[in-house]
Structure 1
């Protein structure tokens, strides 16, 4: 009886996971169709609309179909106290809300209206890359926001889709490696501090792989991390790979990487000036940092590593 109950429990868990994955896939398909529809009527590249929406979704943890949220006083017009949604009222009060679905209203919660409004804002600056980046700067007034949206737009453009959810473990599973949760452990080099990551111990030269789709933001020497590389992914998470023995050839800042792509090799560099090595056993330090649109902080990567390790 207990075995039967356990079988049913496992079945329902798998069914729920499958349904959730299917719902996410359907939502991704719906979003991408809206991006491309808005591009057709506005001429604003769909991949920029997708990148803005993805950035807003991550910094606001928004689960709506489209997560672009403009300030109400801008959308309705500062003198539109009653927030009338009719295009006539919004134009009268100099609001920027637009009607994207042809119903005569500019609803800030309607996905088509949201996308058409931000597309209209971008196109008012012009449609080339520099014009769009200037529009993003004037809106966000934050270099990292503009850079992140620009990078993600390039990824979507390159792969021609937004369905880029694959994940990979940082080292190939057929290599010998070991790791445990070391988040928060004390570190002494350079002053008292905590360990902001997980150490994956492996032999010299073990390949180190990108865990997600992302863009290389930094590459080179760091006094603490030695030879290190930093990659920001589509979820606005910065992945930090440190203590490398070396980098994969022909990788440069600004390059796009994908899950499983080799980016470097396990070493023991760091804790000193460029070239310092051997002060600890060879391992990969893997860190993850989340940006919320205002600041960036480290969080424990151990659960993410476990999930990636369990995937085929």
Structure 2
């Protein structure tokens, strides 16, 4: 049985899962639930994840998820959701540390992996880890439970999740029991829904929140003072435009909030796959076909520019019509705002470039 990622220079994702009988025997599942052992195809990738193309990394990760899904019955998008949540929490390593050659980002702490009372916190023996009630298991069939081996990590997570069942609600319970964090459970459930809906890992791509035109204007207004409702700073960018100009989703995401906020008026919040919360405020109204829990795509109309807010539900006209756009990043424990102006300029410029290229191609054809 080949091990994963032994050679950094010639790294291949050699995910060799155990035979179906071994896997399912370890999970104590009925023989009728077993599936044929998947045919493993090597996943080519460069030794340095930083230099590998995103497409190659997405392909490698997808194959890992699907092969583990074939062995355990857990849908691939649930593995992807957990991995992506951990990816959004990941911090850059200190300088001088070796570059990780793993494809997944799931990091299981040593006391959890080996067992909190295990005197050897670097233990990789499945038997002694099990004795000390540790999390780690051997998923690659090499007799070692290695927390740096993607197959072992995903298989260990699968064993944990299957203790609670295989339904969507069982999955949420299993995630909560692992993280003991309601926010983590919510985010992972959201990510799983996005991956299942689109059927792919690549959910990159953004749109400017207003249709490109000469009708709007904006500048960086981050951190300027606000007094209504108490002294506070402005956590976003104001895009001034006429009443009723369409407001568009800036991302692939899931509608997390929708309704009245006394500061933002009629507002809507969308969570993207990078665990960023896109906040649109002071709307004059919503796209009536969109509800909480719905999935949206970049450029999709979600509402219209207005001047709602600064009062009870329905308050209008206390300031000129504009869209307040804010963006917040969730790091697991806290969620904090950051200046969206650079991203807005980036998205706007990219749309202009795409439009120019489209026109050039059309002219070339004609």
Asked whether the two chains share a fold, i.e. TM above 0.5, the reply is yes
How far residue 210 of structure 1 moved from its aligned partner, in angstroms, is 0.8
Q: 1:151 aligns with which of 172, 175, 190?
A: 190
CA contact (8 A) 1:175 1:206 kept: no
CA contact (8 A) 1:90 1:97 kept: yes
Aligned residues: 294
Q: Deviations over 1:145-183 (max 9, x none)?
A: 111111110110011111111111111113521111100
Root mean square deviation, CA, Å: 1.7
Structure 1 residue 50 corresponds to structure 2 residue 80: yes
TM-score in terms of structure 2 length: 0.77
1: CA distance, partners of 2:214 / 2:63: 41
Residue equivalent to 2:13: none
Residue equivalent to 2:113: 75
Closer/same/farther in 2, CA of residues 92 and 119 from structure 1, 3 Å limit: same
Residue equivalent to 1:7: none
Runs of 4+, deviation exceeding 3 Å: 19-22, 61-64
SS in 2 for 1:191: coil
Deviates more, 1:220-229 or 1:270-279: 270-279
Residue equivalent to 2:253: 214
Closer/same/farther in 2, CA of residues 21 and 84 from structure 1, 3 Å limit: closer
Q: 1:304 aligns with which of 343, 348, 360?
A: 343
Q: Deviations over 1:202-257 (max 9, x none)?
A: 11111111111111111111111111001111111111100001101211111111
Structure 1 residue 244 corresponds to structure 2 residue 274: no
Residue equivalent to 1:197: 236
2: CA distance, partners of 1:209 / 1:302: 16
Residue equivalent to 1:230: 269
CA contact (8 A) 1:86 1:105 kept: yes
Residue equivalent to 2:152: 113
Q: 1:91 aligns with which of 122, 126, 130?
A: 130
For structure 2, the residue ranges without an aligned partner over 5 or more in a row are 1-48, 93-99, 355-366
Residue equivalent to 1:179: 218
For structure 1, the residue ranges without an aligned partner over 5 or more in a row are 1-18
Structure 1 residue 273 corresponds to structure 2 residue 303: no
Structure 1 residue 37 corresponds to structure 2 residue 67: yes
1: CA distance, partners of 2:191 / 2:248: 19
SS in 1 for 2:53: helix
SS in 2 for 1:243: strand
How far residue 21 of structure 1 moved from its aligned partner, in angstroms, is 9.0
SS in 2 for 1:216: strand
Return the structure number with greater relative CO, CA threshold 8 A, min gap 6: 1
SS in 2 for 1:308: helix
Residue equivalent to 2:332: 293
How far residue 22 of structure 1 moved from its aligned partner, in angstroms, is 6.3
How far residue 127 of structure 1 moved from its aligned partner, in angstroms, is 0.7
2: CA distance, partners of 1:156 / 1:282: 36
SS in 2 for 1:227: strand
2: CA distance, partners of 1:99 / 1:308: 44
Computing the radius of gyration from Cα coordinates, the structure with the larger value is 2
